Structure 1
Amino acid sequence: MSVTQFPLTLRVTVSGATPDEIRENARAQAHDFFGLDAELDVISAEAESEEEHRNRYRATVFFRRVA
Structure 2
Amino acid sequence: MSVTRFPLTLRVTVSGATPDEIRENARAQALEFFGPDAELDVMSAEAEWTGEHDKHYRAIVAFRRVA
Distance 1:3 1:61 in 2: 26
1:5 aligned counterpart, secondary structure: coil
- Please report the TM-score for the alignment, with normalisation by the length of structure 2: 0.93
1:25 aligns with 2:25: yes
RMSD: 1.0
1:31 aligned counterpart, secondary structure: helix
- Please report the TM-score for the alignment, with normalisation by the length of structure 1: 0.93
2:43 aligned counterpart, secondary structure: strand
Aligned-residue sequence identity (percent) comes to 80
Within a 5 Å distance, the mapping from 1:1-67 to structure 2 comes to 4-67=4-67
Given residue 41 of structure 2, which amino acid in structure 1 is its aligned partner? D
User: Which stretches of structure 1, 4 residues or longer, exceed 3 Å deviation after superposition?
Assistant: none
Shift of 1:52: 1.8
Gaps of 5+ in 1: none
Distance 2:3 2:36 in 1: 23
Gaps of 5+ in 2: none
